[in-house]
A and B are shown apart, each in its own frame.
Chain A
C-alpha cells in the first residue's frame, strides 16, 4: 500500500519538525497507566483478526504463530486472493465451469491454481514456523517478556535488556541513577544515565522491599505511544501530588542496563507501543521494480487478450450472420441464438482460450526461482562468516533477489556496519619517536593474538594491547625518559573513566570507547588507573601506587575539542594534563616546543593510516597561578553577563603554554574488507551514503578510512550546501541540519508544499557528489533520507545496518540488509538479507544480484515469449474455424505445455544462466551497471519480446497452414504438428548450456514423448472420451500423426523459422558486444597497499564522545557511587540537545570549583 505508507511518512516528518522547532502541543496526554493494576489493563488489550483490530494496549509479545490449524486455511486464502493474479485465475476457473463458453475444460486452470495456492500456502506456513522457531533474543528472549503488561513494576538486573518502555522508579545506585547503553537505539556506544524522580527515589529506597513496590499505586498520564525516541511528556499522579516526567525518567525498550545492579521501573508502553517498535516503521510488502514492470506488462497482455477476444467475438457474430446461416449443418447448431448472443458467448470462450498466454505457472515458477536464488545466497561458501564460517548469508525475503542487481544507492549505517566498534590503541609518538608498527592496520588479517610483547612484569596486564614495540617498554621501565612517563601519566589521569573492581582487577567503565582504549593501553604499559573519588585519582605507576589530588576537570565538549585535568602530584607540584584535537593543542603550545616538527610528521603518518589522533600535552602550574585562577573562576560563576565567554577565556587561560608530550593514534577498526568493498561498489556505479547517529568527526574520519571519500574530496557542510558541488565533493549533513534545511519555512502548510521541490534540489546536488554523510540522524530521519532518495531518483536503494536504529531505514529501503552483528538481532529480523560481514556485499550485489537480475529478466522474457507465442496461435486459427474458439491444441497439451514440457528449460535458464563467472563479475564491476540502467528488463525490451512472440505465433500457425491447406491431413495431425513446432522453438532458444540444462531439455522432450502417448492412449479414451479425444497418436502404428514425415518436417521448419530472428539478433549482439568486453577488460581491482597521499590539512583528530558534553561533571559533582552529593542539573545531557548542553555546562562548572576549593 504505497499511498498509506506515504501518509505515514508525512506524519513522521511532521512529527520530527515539531520535535525540533516547536514545542510539543500536538499530542494529548491521554495515555493512562495505573501501576500494579493488571485488571484495569487486561481487557483493554489489543487483539486482531485479519484486518480488524480493537483494544488499546498492545500486548508485549507478538503472536508467535500467525497461523493455527483452524485459521490457516481461511487466512492463507484471504491473503492469497488479495493478489489480483490469483483472483483472475479464479475467475477463469469459474468461467470454464460454464458449459456454454468453456472452450477448454475446467481442469486446465484449476489444477495449476490449486498447485499455486497450496505451494504458496505451504511456503507461508513454513516461513511462519521458521520465523517463530528462530525468534531472536530481542523479541523472544526471557519468556517473561510476553507477560509484561502496562502498569507492571519490573526489576531489571545489570546487563539485562529492558523489555518495555519503563518509568524509572528507583535503582540500587545513589540518587537512583542508572546507566543505560543505547547502542541498539542510536548507535552510540557511550553510556547514558537516567534518574528517577526524587519522590519515588526517596520513598522506594528508604524501604526497598517488594511490598513497597507492589503497593506503588501511582498513575501515569502521558502521551499516546509515539515514535519520538528523545522526548517524553507526562506526569505521575501519586499521593495527591503531580510530578512532571520527561525522557530522562524513561528507560527505553531495547537499551541495556549497565553499571547498575538493579533498577525498578513501571511499564508504560509495552510491545508494539514501545518507542523503538514505533520507530521501526510500517511493515510493507516490498515489490521489486521488475515485478512492477511485469505487472504492468501482464495487465497489458490481459487487456490485449481481452481486446483480441472482443475482435474475435465480433468476427464470430459476423460469421454467424453472414456465413454459417447459409450452411445448414452449422446454422442448425446456433438456431434460436442471435449473432450478438453468440458473439457474447464466443467472447468469453476466447477469453478462456487465450488465457494461457498469461499462465499461473509464471507466478509459481517465478517464485520457485526466487527461492532457489535465495538458497544459492545461503549456500555460498564465500559468504559465510563468523567463527569457523558458521554463519551463512541469509535471504530472509526471497522475492527481492533480482533487485540486488540493480542497486543504485547504498545507504549504510556506520557503527557496527562499517566499523567493528572496537577502538584499538595502535601507535603513538612520544617526543618525536613513533612507536608501534607502521602498517595499514585494516590489512591486518586477524586480531586474535596481537600481543607479542612480554608484559608479564605487569600484574594488571590482561591483554588487549595492539601496540607492540619493545623499545617503548624498555624506555618506560628503564626510567630514563621522563617524556614517555609523563605521556602515560596523562593517559592514566586525563579521562572520565570509572573503575569497578572485579576479580582483583580494575574494569573500566568509560563513556567513550576512545577513553577506554587509552586508559586500557596505559594499564597494559604499567600505568594502571586504580580508582577515583570525587577529588582524587589513584594510579599504580609501574607498581608504585600514587595518589593525585584532582583540582579541576575541564571537560570535553565538541566546541572545545579537548579535556584537561589539573592535579596535585603526591610530591606536591601542580600539573595540568591535557589531551585534545591536534589543531586545538598545537596552537596552545609553549614557544619553541621541542619535537614539534617530528610530531607533525607523525600526525601526517597516522592520518595516512586513517588513525584517529589525539595530542597529549602537559603544563606545570604554579601554586600562585592556580589560586588566582580559581578565584577568578569563582567570580565568573557569579556573573551572569557574558558568562560563556568568560568561562571560555578562563579555560583558555589555563590550557596554554602547554608542553607537547606526544600523540596517540587510535584505530577505529573497520570491518574486514570494508575499504575494498566500498571502492569496488563505487566502481560498480553505486552511490554509497553513510547515515549514522554518531557525530560528524567520527563519520568523516570513517568516510576517509573506508575509501568512501578520496583524500582530495571536498567536503560540503552546512551553508556550503547552497554552492554548486563539483566532481570531487561529498556532502556532510547532520540530523538537525537536515531538519533545518528541510523545513526552513516555519509555516507548516508551506512546508509540505515546498518539500518535494527541496527534495529534488537536494538529490540533484547529491547526485553530483560522490557521497553523502548524514551524521546525528535519528532512526526516523534515516528512513526519511531513504524515502527522499526513493522519491527523487529512480534508482534502487539498499540500506544496510546492524542495530535497532537501522530497522526503520532497512524497512523503508527497497532492499534492507541486516548484519548479524553485535548490536542485537533487530536489524536482521527486519532485513531482507542478513549477512555476517559488510564485505559480503561484494558477492551479494556483484555476483548474486547481477546473476539474479540477469536470470530473472531473461527468464521472464523467455516465459512470456513462450506462453504468448503458444496461446496467440488461437487468434489466427480463429479465421479458419469461423471464430468459434476452437482450440488448436489438445487439452492435455495445454495443461502440460507450461508445467512439464517447457518448464524445465526455462527453469534451467532462470537457475543456471551465467553470462560471466563470479570471478569476472567481481573483476569487472562495471558489468553491474547493466542492472542499474535496467537494460535487460524494460518496457521496450518486453514489447520487443511480445512482438517476437506475435511473430512466432504467426509462423507457428501459417507455416503448417501452408502445408495442410487443401490436403487430406486432419485436425488432429495439425494440432500435433503445431504442438511439436512450438515445443521445438522454445527449446531451441536455450542459451546457457550446462549438463543440467541439456538434461532438462532431454527430460522435456522425453516427457513429451512419454506423456503424449499416455494422454493419447486408447485406454484413457475408453474411460473418458471427452477428456482424451486424441487416441491414435502412437509412435508405432501407421496412418497417424506421429510417424508421418510431413509432421516432423513441418515442425522443424516452423520452429527454426520462429526462432530465426532472435537467433540472428543474438548473433549480432554477440559480435558487437564481444570486442567491447575485451576493450573494457582490465585487471582485477587491486588495492594499493600504501596509504593515500594527503596534505597536512587532512589530519583527523577526534574523540568518540557523544555530541553533548562528557560525564566529567558527574564525577566532580560527586554523583558517582561513593559520594552522596545530588547533581544539580540534569537537563540537557541527552545526545540530541546540542545547544542546551553547552549552556548547562557553564551553569555548574563554577560550582565544581568552589566545592573543590573548599575541600582543599
Chain B
C-alpha cells in the first residue's frame, strides 16, 4: 500500500523524465574509432575503384563543331546571318564503338541556370491549358506577345531559345553514305511528356494554335516539329522536352538520339563516318561552343572519372587519418616510458 502511495506521488519517474535513457556513444573508444575509420576508408577506396573501372570502360567521342577554326568545315556556317547552312564533320573509328551508343549535343558557356531565363515559361500553357494560349503569363515577357500582340506559343525565352541544329550520321561504306538510324524516342523524362507537358486535346493539333504565333527564333511552329511522327509534336516533342529540362551548370550535354537499331544495335563498327549538321544555332556571339558527343553508358551512367578519383582520394585520406590517429592514440595511451 505504501509503495503504491509513493509511486502515486511520483508519477513521472520514467527513464525519459529522469534523463536516464540508455545511451550508446560509439566514438568513445579508439578500438572502435580507428578500425571504423579504416573500414570506411577501405569501403570508399573499393567504391572508387569500381567507379573508376566503370568509367574507364566507357568510350566517349567528343567533337567540337562550332566552326571557330578556319580548317573546320563548319567555319563557313559560323556567320550568324547565314541561314540554312549545312556543314559536315568527318571522323573515323578504328575499333567497334560498343553500343548502345548515346548521341549528345553539348553547349558550353551557356547559362541555362539563369533564374529569369529559367522561369521564362508558362507551365499552364505547356500543360495544354488553352486559356493560356491566348494570354500567356507575364513571366514569358518579352516573348509573351509578338509585335502585333499575337500570343506566342510556346511563350518565353526558354522555349524560344530551343536548340535547333539537326544531325544526320552516315557511315561511309565503300564511298557510299549509309544513314545510321537514330532513335529519338524515350530520351525525355517520362513525367515530362505525361504530366508536365501536354498538348491541348484538340485535333488536329494545328487548330489549337490558331491565333497564336511561333516563337520568333523558331523556323517551324510547335505542331510541326517532327513531320515524321505526328505524335511527337507540340509540347511533347522529345527534343523540346529535353531542351526544356534545364541544365544546372553552364557546360552541359543534352541527349539528342540513341543508336539502337538495325546494324548499329551493338554499336558503331570501325570505319569512317560523316556527321551532317544543319547549322542553325548561334553561339559564337557569346563565346559559346557546340559539340557532339558519342558515348556508351555503364551501370552508373555516363563517363565520370571525377567521382571515382574523388572516392579514391577521400578513401585514402581516411586510411591515412586513421594511421595518424593510431600514432596519436599510442602516444597518449602508452607514454614515453612504455
Q: Is B truly associated with A?
A: yes
Which residues of A line the B interface, CB within 8 A?
103, 323-324, 326-330, 332-335, 349, 375-376, 379-381, 384, 388-390, 851, 877, 880-882, 884-886, 888, 912, 914, 917-918, 959, 961-975, 991-996, 1018, 1021-1022, 1025-1026, 1029, 1031-1032, 1034, 1037-1040, 1044-1046, 1049-1050, 1053, 1056-1057, 1060, 1064, 1066-1068, 1070-1072, 1074-1075
- Closest chain B CB from A445 CB (angstroms): 17
Q: Are A381 and B307 in contact (CB under 8 A)?
A: no
How far, in angstroms, from A432 to B249 measured CA to CA in the complex?
A: 99
Chain A residues with Cβ below 8 Å from B252 are: 966-968, 970
Instruction: Pick out which of these stretches binds chain A: B229-237, B268-276, B309-317.
Output: B309-317
Instruction: Indicate if the CB atoms of A967 and B304 lie closer than 8 Å.
Output: yes
Question: What CA separation (Å) do A324 and B321 show in the bound complex?
Answer: 46
User: Chain A residue with minimal CB distance to B326?
Assistant: A1071
19 contacts between A and B (CB under 8 A): A323-B286, A327-B111, A330-B157, A335-B142, A880-B249, A880-B250, A885-B115, A918-B20, A968-B104, A968-B252, A970-B246, A971-B245, A1021-B196, A1031-B196, A1038-B190, A1053-B307, A1053-B311, A1057-B314, A1060-B318
Contacts of B127 in A (CB 8 A): 1022, 1025
Q: Binding site of B, secondary structure by majority: helix, strand, loop or mixed?
A: mixed
- Besides the contacts A329-B117, A1049-B300, what 5 more A-B pairs have beta carbons closer than 8 Å? A324-B111, A390-B9, A880-B248, A959-B310, A994-B23
Question: Nearest 5 CB-CB pairs, A to B?
Answer: A1032-B191, A1025-B123, A379-B17, A884-B115, A326-B286
Chain B 77-111 per-residue mask, 1 if CB under 8 angstroms from chain A, else 0: 00000000000000000000000000010101011
Q: How far is the CA of A839 from the CA of B325 in the complex (A)?
A: 43
- In the complex, the answer to whether B248 meets A966 with C-beta atoms within 8 Å is no
Task: Identify the interface centre among A328, A333, A880, A1066: most chain B CB within 10 Å of its CB.
Answer: A333
Q: B44 at interface (Cβ–Cβ under 8 A)?
A: yes
Hey, what's the 0/1 contact readout for B188-201 against A, CB within 8 Å counting as 1? 11111011100000
Residues of B within 8 A of A882 (CB): 111, 113-114
Contact A1071-B328, Cβ < 8 Å, known A381-B18, A1053-B314: yes
Task: Find A1045's partner among B142, B299, B329 (CB 8 Å cutoff).
Answer: B299
Given contacts A381-B12, A1031-B196, A1070-B27, contact A963 B307 (CB under 8 A): yes
Residue contact B26 to A1037, C-beta cutoff 8 Å:
no
Q: Check if A333 sits within 8 Å of B287, measured CB to CB.
A: no
In the complex, A330 Cα to B250 Cα: how many Å?
13
Interfacial chain B residues near A1021, Cβ < 8 Å? 195-196
Q: How far is the CB of B7 from chain A (nearest CB, A)?
A: 11
Closest chain B CB from A206 CB (angstroms) = 57
- Could you tell me which residues of chain B, from 188 to 224, have a CB within 8 Å of some CB in chain A? 188-192, 194-196
Residue of B nearest to A971 (CB): B248
Query: What mask results when residues 141 to 160 of chain B are scored 1 for a CB within 8 Å of chain A, else 0?
Result: 01100000000000001001
Known contacts A329-B160, A881-B113; A967 and B314 CB within 8 A of each other: no
B: residues with CB less than 8 A from A are 6, 9-10, 12-13, 16-28, 30, 33, 37, 40, 44, 47, 51, 104, 106, 108, 110-118, 120, 123-124, 127, 142-143, 157, 160-161, 186, 188-192, 194-196, 245-255, 285-288, 299-302, 304, 306-307, 310-311, 314, 317-318, 321, 325, 328-329, 332-333
B102 to chain A, nearest CB (A): 8
Contacts of A1067 in B (CB 8 A): 27, 33, 37, 325
B237 vs chain A, min Cβ distance (A): 17
Tell me if B285 and A328 are in contact (CB < 8 A): yes
Q: Is the CB of B13 within 8 A of A381?
A: yes
A1044-B33 in contact given A961-B249, A1056-B314, A1071-B328 (Cβ < 8 Å):
no
Partner of A384, one of B10, B28, B37: B10
Residues in A with CB closer than 8 Å to B245 are 970-972
A1060→B322 CA distance, assembly (Å):
12
The answer to whether B190 and A1039 touch across the interface, beta carbons within 8 angstroms, is yes
Contact flag A1018-B26 (CB < 8 Å), given A389-B9, A974-B248, A1045-B300: no
Whether the pair A995, B21 counts as a contact (CB closer than 8 A) is yes
Q: Please state if B195 and A1056 are interface contacts (CB–CB under 8 Å).
A: no
Whether A884 lies near B114 (C-beta < 8 A) is: yes
Q: Are B251 and A965 in contact (CB under 8 A)?
A: yes
Is the Cβ of A914 less than 8 Å from the Cβ of B249?
no
Q: Give A960 Cβ to nearest chain B Cβ, in Å.
A: 9
Contacts of B33 in A (CB 8 A): 1067, 1070
- A993-B24 in contact given A376-B17, A971-B248, A1032-B189 (Cβ < 8 Å): yes
Partner pick for B195 among A375, A971, A1022, CB 8 A cutoff: A1022
Which residues of chain B have C-beta atoms less than 8 A from A962's C-beta?
306-307, 310
Report the separation of the CA atoms of residues A1075 and B335 in the bound assembly, to the nearest whole angstrom. Answer: 11
Known: A324-B114, A329-B157, A971-B247. A1018 touches B285 (CB 8 A): no
Q: How far is the CB of A598 from chain B (nearest CB, A)?
A: 47
Complexed CA–CA distance, A333 and B114 (Å): 11
In the bound complex, residues from chain A placing their C-beta under 8 Å from that of B195 are: 1018, 1021-1022, 1031-1032
* Cβ contacts under 8 Å, A991 to chain B: 25, 27
Chain B residues contacting A1026 (CB-CB under 8 Å) are: 123
CB distance from A843 to the nearest CB of B (A): 11
Query: What residues of A have a CB within 8 angstroms of the CB of B10 in the complex?
Result: 381, 384, 389
B115 contacts A1044, CB within 8 Å?
no
Interface pair A970/B247, CB less than 8 Å apart: yes
| CB closest residue in chain A, given B113 | A881
B325 touching A1053, Cβ below 8 Å: no
Chain B residues, CB < 8 A from A972: 245-246
B248 touches A975 (CB 8 A): yes
Instruction: State whether A379 touches B317 (Cβ < 8 A).
Output: no
Question: In the bound complex, how far is the Cα of B118 from the Cα of A1039, in angstroms?
Answer: 21
> Of B17, B142, B314, which is within 8 A of A333 by CB?
B142
The answer to whether B116 touches A966 (Cβ under 8 A) is no
Chain B residues contacting A326 (CB-CB under 8 Å) are 285-287
Question: B125 CB to closest chain A CB, in angstroms?
Answer: 10
